[in-house]
Amino acid sequence: MKGQVLATANWRRLDGQGDDKCRLVAEPEGYMLIGHARFVQAGVNAALDYVVRCDRHWHTTGADVTGTFGASALGWRFQRNGAWTVNGTAVPGTDDCIDIDLGFTPATNLLPLRRLEATLDQPQAVTALWLSWPAGRVQPLSQRYHRIDAQTLRYGAPGFDADLVAHPSGFVTHYPTGWDGTVDAP
């Protein structure tokens, strides 16, 4: 790897067995999130590896997710060039989706937090391409972020609101009903 590791997040699952580890890497052309999530969902083992690529302005340019859910092999290739494609098929209505939200990990909350960092004193609306988990559906998801204090952000999406705790790196360290973690930032 030619990049520099800026931070590493380690999470444990709050609602069952599991962990997730993700590195934030700076590269000459932008940033990458490189992660490995291992957890049990509804009694089924999940092992998912992911790479998310962003440009220098924290706009997601693509992502890959591979792994298994029980005995089923899974794989998605997400590419953004205006609208999004998934495994080569266009996803309608995604022209405004700057971020990707991988529904099985808190890692991708970092993307809008880094991009919107200077403006989060006011509520900010974004639309992300969302991989809902465990359904595996891909669709646009309206989201809101608003900084409450130095570490706490109010997050909202249709049918879900929560206060998230974030590390200065942008990694969320507490995602209610989901994950709790620590960040090592050299």
Q: What is the pLDDT of residue 82?
A: 86
Q: Provide the whole-model pTM.
A: 0.95
Mean pLDDT (whole number) for 113-125: 95
Residue 3 has pLDDT above 80, yes or no: yes
pLDDT in tens, 125-171: 999 999 999 999 999 999 999 999 999 999 999 999 999 999 999 99
Dihedral (Cα; 98, 134, 152, 7), 10-degree rounding: -70
Burial of 104 from C-beta contacts in 10 A (0-12 / 13-18 / 19+): buried
Cα separation, 12 vs 19, in Å, equals: 4
The token pair at 178 is 């989901």
Longest dimension (CA), the chain: 45
> How would residue 68 be classed by pLDDT, with cut points 50, 70 and 90?
very high
Mean pLDDT (whole number) for 110-120: 95
Q: For the chain, what percentages of helix, strand and coil (3-state, to nearest 5) are there?
A: 5, 60, 30
The count of structural domains within the chain is 1
| Closest listed residue to residue 89, CA positions, set 97, 98, 79, 74 | 79
Q: Which range marks the domain in which residue 127 is found?
A: 4-184
Mean pLDDT (whole number) for 29-42: 96
> How would residue 77 be classed by pLDDT, with cut points 50, 70 and 90?
very high
